[in-house]
Structure 1
């Protein structure tokens, strides 16, 4: 992500920041981008110490809803694909506003609007069905991206801008190990089986078995096309970069 364009990040005003927090930084995907764009210090924050070891210093272990920083400790607080995984994203956003002296920015997807194109004719439709069932079965709002501006207003942040950034994930020959593994997981049904608990509220056992059989069939067709060097797939995930300014009062 961000390899093709960083235009959607321009309203973060990174060039004028002395200190930035990347909350829920994970392995540091966004952290590294921020460090390239910001002349000041960019600190990665995450609750998982193992992930922080990959992100690289400076890092701080901490909870997004209870950040171990004083009020107004940094110029900017940023997160990417974090709020969609929290049961109460507004609590984290209020904490971001407490710690930031100037701006808060979030980069969040709308997973209901993901688009799939594939050389396997039935894959886009089945992927859409599975995604809808998944969205209906999880406890957090993974469609939040396009509506984060409302959360900002509720948190007392003045919305500066919302920009859409479409992340595109391509699968084409020569196939990466990750792509080959993903195809194998489809063909064996392991991917769906790993998330079976998510579907229990929307499908009975027979319906889930039918869905998994369709998923496995798609996977076998993908592997066949890969063997012939014919398989291509594009997945487009819309992310929304919302920037808000902290009320000086």
Structure 2
């Protein structure tokens, strides 16, 4: 399973659910008494679940570094998603966010969620193949799409699972209640945050692509194609920095998430 830093999770999930929580309607949060957030990371979704439900919300994750941050939100437990240390029916709702896309056998995890839930299981999963980028730097959208396609080609798990989570739920023996789409927008605009400035710096140096080099080369991308992509990426990064200096750079990334809700039969 891929590992993520606390900074990465906080950046990518920043502002999630800030504009609307309508996609969470079918979780029926107001009626919940005990909720489990599996793969809670640093606790962004845990916080939302607690605020919307008033229930006891427990966070579970395999990474102790992330749990240290999540523990500030509520009670946490170190656990593997496929071997949860809870009795059957211990919760009336089990939720995960951006977890199944990183698992080799997502149905196995969902079946375990169903074991410890007396009622509902929900997954908030993105379709990373449908991410769109709009930018004032003309070269950025096509390069972002090209880099994403190369990266996804080398990833071993289904990071486009999002809209197809219904099949996973059914394979795990759940009755699917609904699937709702929620588009999470991440906007970079003046005044620029420290995270935005750092992201621009990493574009100029090509560090982001360098971090993904092994994965990209695991697909059909050759060394030469990777080098060409990184060169173009760094040139694009210089244009981003130039526009930032003029406070003219604006970038909007839209990530489609799908909230799939299933009932334990």
TM-score between the two structures when normalised by the length of structure 2: 0.92
Q: Deviations over 1:144-197 (max 9, x none)?
A: 000001111111111111000000000000000100000110111111111110
Unaligned runs of 5+ in 2: 1-15
* d(CA) in 2 for partners of 1:237, 1:178: 18
Corresponding residue to 1:226 among 236, 244, 256: 244
Deviation for aligned residue 1:50 = 1.8
Residue 144 (structure 1) aligns with: 161
Aligned-pair CA distance for 1:226: 0.3
Match of 1:19 among 27, 34, 56: 34
Residue in structure 2 matching 1:239, options 249, 257, 265: 257
Tell me how far apart the structure 1 counterparts of residues 43 and 24 of structure 2 sit (CA, whole Å). Answer: 16
User: Which of the residues 159, 164, 178 maps onto 2:181?
Assistant: 164
Distance across 1 between alignment mates of 2:63 and 2:224: 37
Unaligned runs of 5+ in 1: none
Q: 1:213 aligns to what? A: 231
Residues 43-96 of structure 1: CA deviation (Å, up to 9, x unaligned): 000111221121123111100000000111110000000000111111101100
Match of 2:65 in 1: 50
Q: Does structure 1 conserve the Cα–Cα contact (< 8 Å) formed by 2:152 and 2:216?
A: no
Deviates more, 1:49-58 or 1:102-111: 49-58
Q: Which residue of 2 aligns with 1:69?
A: 86
Instruction: Give the corresponding residue for 2:13.
Output: none
1:2 aligns with 2:12: no
Distance (Å, rounded) in 2 between the aligned partners of 1:2 and 1:66:
29
Q: How large is the Cα RMSD of the aligned pairs?
A: 0.7
The count of corresponding residues between Structure 1 and Structure 2 is: 247
Give the CA deviation at 1:214: 0.2
Q: How far is 1:208 from its partner?
A: 1.2
Q: Deviations over 1:21-60 (max 9, x none)?
A: 0000000000000010112200000111221121123111
> Whole-Å Cα distance in 2 between the matches of residues 130 and 50 of structure 1?
29
- Secondary structure in 2 aligned to 1:184? helix
Q: Which of 193, 199, 205 is the aligned partner of 1:182?
A: 199
